[in-house]
Amino acid sequence: MGTGPLEGITVVDVSSAVAGAWVSTQLAEMGADVVLIEKVGASDVMRLTGAIVGDQSGCWVQMHRNKRGMDLDIRDERGREILLQLVEGADVFIQNFRPGVAERLRIGYDDLSAVNADLVYLSVSGFGPAGPYAHQPVYDPIIQSLTGMTASQGGDFVKSATADKTTAMTGATAVLGALLARTNGAGGQHVEVNLLDSTLSWMWLDYFWNESVPEAPRTPTYSEWYSPWQTADGWVGAIWPSDEQYARVCGKLGVPHLADDPRFATRAARIRNSNEHQEVFAKLLGEFTTADALRALEEADVPCAPVLDVTEVFDDPQVKHNETVLTHHHPVIGQVRTARFPARFSKTPTQLERLAPAKGEHTDEVLTDLGLSGTEIAALRADGIVG
């Protein structure tokens, strides 16, 4: 790899879907050498999610760039031995099997730490290693249902893999913490994260503020008083949390008398009367065009923006200025657009080093790095141990 703050860190990832695999995505984006292991003869579900050309999907090209991909049957003893060789030289191992599966495959923490005592071993699960739900199958919408997120969104799912991605970010942060602890002398360790705990932790700040202080008067949550405003020809996002911002909005929208209206004059009053506040300003902004509404809101110096369709994001001037969207050519599927890694490092910059791997693209390369000959690799492939 050669770039990024994690240059020199090696990761072996046998996870699938999002919550585990997106952990190694964060690490790969920061320069770690990630070997992503897929099943022989079976495609990861994310290869089949979204717009697809060949074995590359709209999800896959973002999730797995900067990684090397290999096919390996880790359930076969010969495949397991290859995995152990990879782990012997690795810094991080990631798996998201249901609890108990890794142990049955003899690749649990105890098995792998015996090979590499300095290994940071990350287990990602839906509910944790034990408990009444631990062995149940789970996907993102189930976690949304259990954590109150669905109810808080009016009884519908957030149309994004929120729980998966939140858990992955938690996992990546935890891995970095464990690597730092190892540098400070703690050695390797087992790190466990799960979707249920990660999502509740992520939600707690705002979704659960009434439950955090149950003896306080109930206050409407963000989901009750933060909504976009419909204009005569579109939608705008705008908020005015401070009293000064609210007063300026009232003046610029031509309703200065509302600045002193006791229902809305203070932040506490606006929150307490959030439904009425929404109704009044929805009716008011509904008479403006989007352009006129934004002009008035910008003059009031409040946070505001048009509500863009995903296809319009590419032409947004700030997105263009930040060069957030990377466009590159894939030799098989043609044009690919992905989002730049959001953190920018002044001394250890990150960059796109590899496109997302085709199925088993780097199998021979990884095995050669382990010292296997072409003849040995061919024999493993003939026996279905590698793909």
Residue where a domain terminates, one of 306, 339, 371: 306
| pLDDT score of 321 | 97
Looking at the fold, whether 131 and 233 belong to one and the same domain comes out as no
Residue where a domain terminates, one of 255, 276, 306: 306
For residues 18 and 139, give the distance between their C-alpha atoms in angstroms, rounded to a whole number. 10
Answer whether 262's CB lies under 8 Å from 269's CB.
yes
Looking at the fold, whether 165 and 18 belong to one and the same domain comes out as yes
| pLDDT score of 379 | 97
* CATH number, domain with residue 297: 3.30.1540.10
Looking at the fold, whether 20 and 138 belong to one and the same domain comes out as yes
Looking at the fold, whether 141 and 290 belong to one and the same domain comes out as no
- Nearest CA to 121 out of 6, 40, 202, 20 is that of 20
| pLDDT score of 217 | 87
| pLDDT score of 1 | 43
Answer whether 211's CB lies under 8 Å from 179's CB.
no
- Nearest CA to 128 out of 78, 77, 167, 181 is that of 167
Nearest 5°: phi and psi at 16? -130, 175
Q: Which two tokens stand for residue 207?
A: 């979704």
* Residues near 205 by beta carbon (within 8 Å), at least 6 away in sequence: none
Taking 70 as the pLDDT cut, the residues of the chain under it are 1-2
Q: What is the DSSP string of 224-287?
A: HH---EE-SSSEEEE---SHHHHHHHHHHTT-GGGGG-TTTSSHHHHHHTHHHHHHHHHHHHTT
Looking at the fold, whether 122 and 150 belong to one and the same domain comes out as yes
* CATH number, domain with residue 364: 3.40.50.10540
Question: Exposure of 154 by Cβ count < 10 A (0-12 exposed, 13-18 middle, 19+ buried)?
Answer: exposed
338-374 confidence digits (pLDDT tens): 999 999 999 999 988 899 999 999 999 999 999 999 9
| pLDDT score of 223 | 74
Helix boundaries (H) for the chain:
21-29, 60-63, 77-88, 101-104, 109-115, 140-147, 149-152, 162-183, 195-207, 209-212, 222-225, 243-252, 267-272, 274-285, 290-299, 317-322, 363-369, 374-382
The helix or strand, by DSSP H or E, that contains position 334, with its residue range, turns out to be strand 334-339
Work out the widest C-alpha separation in the chain, in whole angstroms: 84
Domain presence at residue 212: no
Dihedral of CA atoms 145, 149, 152, 156 in degrees, nearest 10, equals: -50
Looking at the fold, whether 331 and 298 belong to one and the same domain comes out as no
Looking at the fold, whether 275 and 331 belong to one and the same domain comes out as no
| pLDDT score of 63 | 93
| pLDDT score of 254 | 96
Looking at the fold, whether 124 and 147 belong to one and the same domain comes out as yes
| pLDDT score of 21 | 95
Looking at the fold, whether 85 and 185 belong to one and the same domain comes out as yes
| pLDDT score of 287 | 96
Number of domains within the chain: 2
For residues 373 and 143, give the distance between their C-alpha atoms in angstroms, rounded to a whole number. 46
Answer whether 119's CB lies under 8 Å from 90's CB.
yes
Full domain range(s) for residue 175:
10-205+321-382
Q: Which two tokens stand for residue 137?
A: 């199958």
| pLDDT score of 249 | 97
| pLDDT score of 377 | 97
Looking at the fold, whether 40 and 134 belong to one and the same domain comes out as yes
Q: Which two tokens stand for residue 142?
A: 């189930």
Domain presence at residue 315: no
